[in-house]
Amino acid sequence: MTTPQAVRRASPRARRTVTPPDPARSLLPDVEPVRLLAENGTPLPARADYPEPAAEVLRELYRRMVLGRRFDTQATALTKQGRLAVYPSSRGQEACQVGAVLAVRDTDWVFPTYRESTALVARGIDPVEVLTLLRGDWHCGYDPTEVRTAPQCTPLATQCVHAAGLAHGEAYQGRDTVALAFIGDGATSEGDFHEGINFAAVFKAPVVYFVQNNRYAISVPLSRQTAAPSLAYKGVGYGVPSEQVDGNDPVAVLAVLTRAVAHARAGKGPFLVEAHTYRMEPHTNADDASRYRDGAEVDAWRDRDPITRLETYLRARGVLDDAAVAEIAEQAESYAADLRTRMNEQPTVDPLSLFDHVYAEPTPQLIEQRELVRAELTAARAEEGDA
Amino acid sequence: MATTMAKALNTALADALAADDRVVVFGEDVGALGGVFRITDGLQGRFGEKRCFDTPLAEAGIVGFAVGLAMSGLRPVVEMQFDAFAYPAFEQIASHVAKLRNRTRGALSVPIVIRVPYAGGIGGVEHHCDSSEAYYAHTPGLKVVTPATVEDAYSLLREAIDDPDPVVFMEPKKLYFASAEAELPTRAEPFGRAVVRRPGRDATLVAYGPAVPVALEAAEAAREEGWDLEVVDVRTIVPFDDATITASVRRTGRCVVIQEAPGFAGVGAEIAARVQERCFHALHAPVLRVAGLDIPYPAPMLEHTHLPGVDRVLDAVARLQWDDQPDARWAAA
């Protein structure tokens, strides 16, 4: 037994020497989101932990953001013209979408959601292929193995587990691939987000989980998704380091993601990043955002536009000038014009192709059904011929 | 050599692991413990922790992880510990495992085997004895396979692992430790082929998984009543073998479909419908179903009330209008 007196004598020293280090501290994000540019585009003090990307990288970031914005505007217009069945815009989230994609290699794998169309075109995927599903076709458009990008995922958060498995499988086979999994604020409430990040942590799989917190899950605000101080704090419970970043600061997003990807590639396991951003448009063209949010709120975020912010900064640094901005704008216009032309062509769809990829080889029942459809089509054509 | 189905499954996994470096086996308690039914017994010791490993206790995670591993080129074989424990994984199975090939036009395939110990007859408590095959069979893109013999357990599991498509491999728990003569390795009939387990002239009993031994026992007992019954083992629910079953029923003119799962909207209903569509003019009686009751799987003390047994099968056979009179059961309706 220790006497109370002994405790009093021993305790000051014991407190200094015996207190174990807090294992959670290193996993926690900064209290404030990382920010390297102020909202008006002026640089903030440099941070040793998040070095600023090189000027030519920032110029490319700007270029792809401008192209991405133009693509998004064009896709929204095409939807109004009836060329797309539905379109979930990512306007206002270009810093996140493009910054994240620029942080990974072509040989890495990206796991997008349905809102990542801008990210996918920034990754270099043909925009017509990106819009294939939204156009109303039955497949994802691009070849995922060729562009190392999974099909855009609609079932929320389910891709988080795929990313863990893919990353583990790649490491298992001796490849240094990183998986970048996109997810939104609402989907962090889904079980698969937690299972994915937990699997990645347990197997030390090289995954970067990138949460774009755009403050709404269709109409439901963030306050109904979580009581956590921020979504980045969800990492600590799984032993996963995390960071939060100003999602409308393109320089900060790229810097934070670059570090997260390096962490994963170095074999240290997954990393969680939360970007604070805002969905400028409704959930999709079919949604009416005025029923659940205030115009003044949207206006306030319009003033934090990520493209304007980066342009102001790069002009001040002499990385961009009027001529460069005009040239990039022109590229964006011809990109959109090309997209418009190609999307205005009526796509050809073959009903018989519906049976081609259900299984590697169709079952006898599918062969029967295909013949039934073939007969229907032949009859319909014959009728057309008669008419 | 006398072997159990459990041992045959274990041997199939070991042989697949030895034959192909891409095969990995994982799930809950499959490592050091060797699985609660010991189907993975010794695999971790023999092949190492990289190839046979335990995971966090999360079924959606297990199946979703397998999707990612398959995308990277591996061939995952996962164990769902019990039928009802697989339900958390259903979204991954229905929305991704079943559809990934289709939505990528064949660019990505997910050759995953999802092993599901299923059905009852073992005195299991609630949530341990569901017959969940219809959920999977109803989902295009999945193959659904269930062995009823020791030889098939080995052969179908090896084929499932080799198959380019995802396979839900349903293992009848009550047959795990039944023993039979079997030489392993062996390869039986391929996927998509039903097998006549017992030839007969008077009526066809169609069964799969745990109902096959019941059908065989019923056929044996029926001899005393003067009926010579044929027993067809479906083996692979998807792909389904219409040809073998149709040929049998056209021969016998009568058919009873037996399943352990609740009858309503079950696989047996599908089989009965298909037989009637294809064999109407050869039938001397309506196709009857003998199935589990439409109740949640009952407590161990009452499971014999639920399970379709020999007597219920023989009652159904007796109702196959041998005297060309309408079935009295429906007279009041």
Q: Determine the pLDDT at residue A49.
A: 96
Residues of B in contact with A169 (CB under 8 A): 68-74
Contact B130, B297 (CB under 8 A): yes
Give the number of residues written for chain A. Answer: 387
Residues of A in contact with B242 (CB under 8 A): 364-365
CB-based contact B67 A365, cutoff 8 Å: no
The full set of domain ranges for chain B reads 2-181, 195-327
CB-based contact B68 A365, cutoff 8 Å: no
Which tens digits make up the pLDDT trace of B17-47? 999 999 999 999 999 999 999 999 999 999 9
Structure tokens at B112: 């995953």
Res B330 pLDDT > 90: no
Query: ω into residue A221 within 30 of 0, thus cis?
Result: no
User: Please, which pLDDT band fits residue A13 given cuts at 50, 70 and 90?
Assistant: low
Report chain A's mean pLDDT, rounded to a whole number.
Answer: 94
Q: Determine the pLDDT at residue A386.
A: 81
Q: Rounded mean pLDDT of B116-123?
A: 96
Residues of A in contact with B238 (CB under 8 A): 363
Report chain B's mean pLDDT, rounded to a whole number.
Answer: 97
CB-based contact B68 A358, cutoff 8 Å: no
The residues with which B117 forms a beta bridge, in sequence order, are B171
Contact A245, A96 (CB under 8 A): no
Q: Determine the pLDDT at residue A23.
A: 86
Packing angle of the helix pair A55-80, A250-263 (nearest 10 deg): 110
User: Please, which pLDDT band fits residue A6 given cuts at 50, 70 and 90?
Assistant: very low
Res A2 pLDDT > 80: no
Closest CA to B120 of B312, B308, B313, B322: B308
Q: Determine the pLDDT at residue A356.
A: 97
Q: Determine the pLDDT at residue A385.
A: 86
Which tens digits make up the pLDDT trace of A207-251? 999 999 999 999 999 999 999 999 999 999 999 999 999 999 999
Which tens digits make up the pLDDT trace of A278-332? 999 999 999 999 999 999 999 999 999 999 999 999 999 999 999 999 999 999 9
> pLDDT higher for B208 or A21?
B208
Long-range pairs, B314-318, Cβ under 8 A, ≥24: B314/B218, B314/B221, B314/B222, B314/B225, B316/B256, B316/B288, B316/B289, B316/B290, B317/B203, B317/B205, B317/B218, B317/B222, B317/B225, B317/B227, B317/B229, B317/B254, B317/B256, B318/B225
Q: How far apart are CA A207 and CA A184, in angstroms?
A: 16
Best residue in B67, B136, B271 for a mutation probing chain A (most A CBs within 10 Å): B67
Q: Determine the pLDDT at residue A12.
A: 52
Which tens digits make up the pLDDT trace of A15-64? 566 778 888 999 999 999 999 999 999 999 999 999 999 999 999 999 99
The residues with which B257 forms a beta bridge, in sequence order, are B206, B289
Fold of A25-344: Rossmann fold (3.40.50)
The nearest alpha carbon in chain A to B164 belongs to: A360
Contact B192, B223 (CB under 8 A): no
Active-site residue, selected from the candidate residues B96, B127, B128, B304: B128
Q: Determine the pLDDT at residue A16.
A: 60
Active-site residue, selected from the candidate residues A47, A194, A292, A315: A292
Known active-site residue A279: yes
Q: How far apart are CA B219 and CA B213, in angstroms?
A: 10
Q: Side-chain half-sphere of A90: how many Cα atoms within 13 Å? A: 30
Amino acid identity, position A267: G
Q: Determine the pLDDT at residue A1.
A: 42
Res A380 pLDDT > 90: yes
Which tens digits make up the pLDDT trace of A84-136? 999 999 999 999 999 999 999 999 999 999 999 999 999 999 999 999 999 98
Res A3 pLDDT > 70: no
Structure tokens at A37: 């540019």
CB-based contact B165 A166, cutoff 8 Å: no
Q: Determine the pLDDT at residue B174.
A: 97
Q: A143 vs chain B: nearest CA distance in angstroms?
A: 6
Residue A365, number of CB atoms within 10 A of its CB: 14
Q: Rounded mean pLDDT of A183-209?
A: 98
The full set of domain ranges for chain A reads 25-344, 351-386
User: Please, which pLDDT band fits residue A351 given cuts at 50, 70 and 90?
Assistant: very high
Closest CA to A336 of A84, A65, A67, A79: A67
Q: Determine the pLDDT at residue A7.
A: 47
Q: How far apart are CA A261 and CA A105, in angstroms?
A: 10
Q: What percent of chain A has pLDDT over 70?
A: 96
Which tens digits make up the pLDDT trace of B140-168? 999 999 999 999 999 999 999 999 999 99
Q: How far apart are CA A95 and CA A34, in angstroms?
A: 14
Known active-site residue A292: yes
Strands (E) located in chain B: 2-4, 23-27, 52-54, 75-79, 113-118, 143-145, 167-172, 179-181, 195-198, 203-207, 229-233, 236-238, 255-262, 288-292
Would you call A146 an interface residue with chain B, using a CB distance cutoff of 8 Å?
A: yes
* C-alpha B27 chain-centroid distance: 20
Would you call A150 an interface residue with chain B, using a CB distance cutoff of 8 Å?
A: yes
Q: Is the torsion defined by CA of B199, B217, B125, B53 positive or negative? A: negative
Q: A358 vs chain B: nearest CA distance in angstroms?
A: 5
Q: B285 vs chain A: nearest CA distance in angstroms?
A: 25
User: Please, which pLDDT band fits residue B280 given cuts at 50, 70 and 90?
Assistant: very high
Long-range pairs, B220-228, Cβ under 8 A, ≥24: B221/B310, B221/B314, B222/B314, B222/B317, B225/B314, B225/B317, B225/B318, B227/B200, B227/B202, B227/B203, B227/B317, B228/B200, B228/B201, B228/B202
CATH 3.40.50.970 is the classification of domain B2-181: yes
**Domains B2-181 and B195-327 fall in the same CATH topology:** yes
Q: Determine the pLDDT at residue A15.
A: 55
Fold of B195-327: Rossmann fold (3.40.50)
Q: Determine the pLDDT at residue B206.
A: 99
Contact B142, B166 (CB under 8 A): yes
Would you call B75 an interface residue with chain A, using a CB distance cutoff of 8 Å?
A: no
Would you call B296 an interface residue with chain A, using a CB distance cutoff of 8 Å?
A: no
CB-based contact A168 B68, cutoff 8 Å: yes
What are the counts of helices (DSSP H) followed by strands (DSSP E) for chain B? 12, 14
* C-alpha B131 chain-centroid distance: 9
SS (H, E, C) B230-267: EEEECCEEECCCHHHHHHHHHHHCCEEEEEEEECCCCH
Packing angle of the helix pair A250-263, A94-102 (nearest 10 deg): 40
Which tens digits make up the pLDDT trace of B58-115? 999 999 999 999 999 999 999 999 999 999 999 999 999 999 999 999 999 999 999 9
